């Protein structure tokens, strides 16, 4: 069978196939989220131990953010040609290899090797990002956002479990010559391999290739329309696709920028590690636990409505957190609302992007979206530290809110065109 083409599926089999593919994606998403959360929990601690200085520990988070940005475009190209299964398996295996390299770097006391491993480890999260689009491949158009949001929600389970198993993971390597803080990466490597095996064996038939086959012979064989250049042309040709890209990137960058410096701001006002952990846990709950609600709202009331909700939520969050001062409760509320706004933006933007481009170009456009999203967030995270050090946490929240202006302008224009 030619690469990029799958056998058509009888209409009567589609509902059962949708349920099975979604179940596989949810299970792999839980494993992938667990692998990432296990490692992220101690990445900064491990970087500090290996480098010997706290000043360099922040490079750990930078490395893990760089990973998915670097892998996004090659992954999109691979999936455009060979389907979701090949791309997801590759991303999980890169994450497993990166985690192993991080362990070697920590054991050898090599900070550059550790950072290289963390880049690969972070790239494993590309699979979790791509899985939301895999869920949309065979979804009915009026249920597409709910399919995306269900897979996003599954990350909650891994994100909650990950930090809680970091301690036993560290204890498991005692006596093996591996630093305790590197133990979670040993476990993460194994979890990623398990996720890769699950996808390789169970994600059949491939959802993207099946969707192309169902779209008709012209879509199934339109190889020229699957390149990254074709994806860029598709975005230029669609104002709604451009709005979707700006929505995903803007929501994610605002969230990462504000969230990354919140622990520092809380620390300046006397918050301890336990309180900071609770605030971040509430933020993560806002990000993932309510994504099915955002999916339902997006399908029921339209993508533009939920994009407007994302703007309102993130702006409110920035106002709450930016004016909180020493009020830890107000910061916590702001971070929870920030998570809700991110969820609204990611789900509605991802659904709108899938709606707005031809079937053949979707994988390329979706990869472009993830590349822009992660690159923007990486730049935002670096800039956030400079803004807080020079102007303060309140100004950072103001800048985060201003990042939503392009998204708001494009959404208003889109609404006027539909009116």
Nearest of 20, 36, 120 to residue 70 by alpha carbon: 120
Higher pLDDT, 8 or 236: 236
| Element containing residue 217 per DSSP (H, E) | helix 217-220
Q: What is the pLDDT of residue 296?
A: 97
**Mean pLDDT across the stretch 314-328?**
96
**Can you tell me which residue has the tokens 């696709």?**
241
Taking a C-beta distance cutoff of 8 angstroms, is the pair 387, 395 a contact?
yes
Q: Is the pLDDT of residue 382 over 80?
A: no
**Mean pLDDT across the stretch 86-115?**
95
* Cα gap 119→39, rounded to integer Å: 12
**Mean pLDDT across the stretch 375-402?**
89
Q: What is the pLDDT of residue 6?
A: 55
Query: Which DSSP letter does residue 12 get?
Result: G
Q: What is the pLDDT of residue 222?
A: 55
Nearest of 362, 367, 417, 345 to residue 141 by alpha carbon: 362
Nearest of 125, 168, 150 to residue 36 by alpha carbon: 125
Q: What is the pLDDT of residue 65?
A: 80
What does pLDDT average to over the chain? 88
Strands (E), 274-396: none
Higher pLDDT, 289 or 47: 289
* Residues 345-366 pLDDT 10s: 999 999 999 999 988 888 889 9
**Mean pLDDT across the stretch 75-101?**
94
Q: Could you tell me the pLDDT band of residue 304, with boundaries at 50, 70 and 90?
A: very high
**Mean pLDDT across the stretch 151-158?**
86
* Count of CB atoms situated within 10 Å of the CB of 54: 10
Indicate the SS3 state at residue 235: helix
Q: What is the pLDDT of residue 223?
A: 55
Q: Is the pLDDT of residue 2 over 50?
A: no
* Cα gap 352→147, rounded to integer Å: 13
Q: Could you tell me the pLDDT band of residue 1, with boundaries at 50, 70 and 90?
A: very low
* Cα gap 208→264, rounded to integer Å: 42
| Percent helix, percent strand, percent coil in the chain, to nearest 5 | 85, 0, 15
* Cα gap 364→126, rounded to integer Å: 14
pTM for the model stands at 0.85
Helices (H) and strands (E) in the chain, counts: 18, 0
Taking a C-beta distance cutoff of 8 angstroms, is the pair 289, 153 a contact?
yes
Q: Is the pLDDT of residue 61 over 80?
A: no
């Amino acid at each position: 069978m030619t690469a990029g083409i799958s056998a058509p599926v009888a209409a009567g089999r589609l509902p059962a196939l949708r349920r099975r593919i979604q179940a596989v994606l949810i299970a792999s998403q839980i494993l992938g989220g667990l692998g990432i959360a296990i490692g992220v929990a101690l990445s900064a601690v491990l970087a500090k131990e290996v480098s010997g200085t706290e000043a360099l520990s922040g490079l750990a988070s930078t490395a893990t953010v760089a990973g998915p940005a670097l892998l996004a475009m090659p992954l999109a190209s691979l999936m455009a040609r060979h389907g979701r299964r090949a791309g997801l398996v590759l991303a999980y295996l890169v994450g497993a290899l990166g985690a192993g390299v991080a362990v070697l770097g920590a054991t050898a006391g090599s900070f550059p090797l550790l950072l290289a491993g963390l880049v690969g480890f972070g790239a494993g999260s590309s699979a979790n990002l791509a899985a939301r689009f895999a869920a949309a491949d065979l979804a009915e158009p009026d249920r597409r956002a709910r399919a995306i949001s269900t897979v996003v929600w599954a990350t909650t389970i891994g994100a909650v479990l990950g930090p809680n198993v970091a301690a036993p993971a560290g204890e498991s390597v005692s006596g093996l010559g591996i630093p305790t803080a590197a133990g979670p990466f040993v476990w993460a490597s194994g979890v990623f391999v398990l996720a890769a095996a699950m996808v390789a064996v169970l994600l059949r038939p491939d959802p993207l290739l099946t969707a192309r086959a169902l779209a008709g012979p012209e879509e199934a064989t339109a190889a020229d329309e699957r390149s990254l250049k074709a994806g860029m042309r598709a975005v230029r040709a669609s104002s709604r696709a451009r709005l979707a890209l700006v929505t995903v990137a803007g929501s994610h960058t605002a969230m990462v920028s504000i969230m990354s410096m919140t622990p520092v701001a809380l620390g300046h006002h006397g918050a301890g590690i336990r309180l900071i952990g609770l605030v971040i846990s509430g933020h993560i709950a806002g990000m993932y636990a309510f994504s099915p609600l955002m999916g339902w709202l997006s399908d029921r009331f339209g993508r533009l409505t939920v994009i407007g909700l994302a703007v309102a939520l993130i702006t409110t969050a920035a106002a709450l957190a930016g004016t909180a001062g020493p009020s830890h409760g107000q910061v916590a509320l702001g971070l929870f609302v920030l998570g809700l706004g991110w969820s609204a933006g990611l789900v509605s933007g991802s659904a709108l992007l899938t709606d707005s481009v031809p079937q053949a170009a979707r994988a390329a456009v979706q990869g472009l979206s993830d590349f822009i999203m992660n690159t923007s967030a990486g730049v935002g995270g670096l800039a956030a530290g400079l803004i807080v050090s020079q102007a303060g946490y309140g100004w950072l929240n103001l800048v985060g809110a201003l990042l939503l202006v392009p998204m708001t302008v494009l959404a208003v224009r889109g609404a006027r065109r539909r009116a």
